[in-house]
Amino acid sequence: MAFLNFISIYEFRVKIWYTVAMKNKWLIGIDEAGRGPLAGPVAVGVVTVPTNFEWRLIPGVGDSKGIAAKKREAIFFQAQKLRHHRTLDFAVAMVGASVIDEKGIVYAVNLAMERCIHRLALNPEDCHILLDGSLVAPKTFSQETIIKGDVTEPVIGLASIVAKVTRDRFMAGTAQKRYPQYGFEQHMGYGTELHRKMITTVGRCPIHRASYCKNIKYVV
């Protein structure tokens, strides 16, 4: 019975993709990275590929959280090469801690998404968007939100990777140089024991999300 259910789901998705391919030229994947850290921006990645894109050109794509850092970097480099040859395109936008604190994480994610869509000049009339988890694109676009889409849909997985690599580079580079005492290159702003200890010891810095650090007390 389970096998028959799998076949039915597979056939249903094949029909969806056939319909999408007939109506649209481009398939768009959207995902975010850095929703939960105590510090640093949230990043949103948007990837656009032709509906007949050959994924063998960029093997190993999947959920960024389940891929080793070196492998993510290699995939990101390949994505850049393919963008140079206009085989695909992508954009990443980041929104910082001050906006997250003032407006909330959902607003920040949507703002970053809108910036990427604008940069890529996406046309609602010739593309279909796939989003991971609870993300929602502007209503003018044909779209589908897929739970664990970064695992099941390569275009979402690639969006996850370009978002995470871009954010990690910022945290290990710019953020680490400005605020070396926090060890951002080790934890990328996430709430590790080391990170929490440093906040307790030296307090927060400008890229910390105050609304995320309420229960961590600075001991003078």
Per DSSP, the residues of 124-154 read TTSEEEEEETT----TTSEEEEETTHHHH-H
Burial label, 206 (beta-carbon count in 10 A; 0-12, 13-18, 19+) = exposed
Residue-level pLDDT at 11:
52
Q: How far apart are CA 216 and CA 207, in angstroms?
A: 15
Strand-pair partners of 48: 28, 89
Q: Go through the domains of the chain in sequence order and give each one's CATH number.
A: 24-168 (3.30.420.10)
Q: How far apart are CA 138 and CA 207, in angstroms?
A: 28
Residue-level pLDDT at 66:
86
> What is the average pLDDT across 15-24?
54
* Continuous segment of H or E residues that includes residue 69: helix 69-84
Question: Is residue 150 over pLDDT 70?
Answer: yes
Residue-level pLDDT at 2:
47
Q: How far, in whole angstroms, is CA 201 from its chain's centroid?
A: 31
Q: How many CB atoms lie within 10 A of CB 123?
A: 12
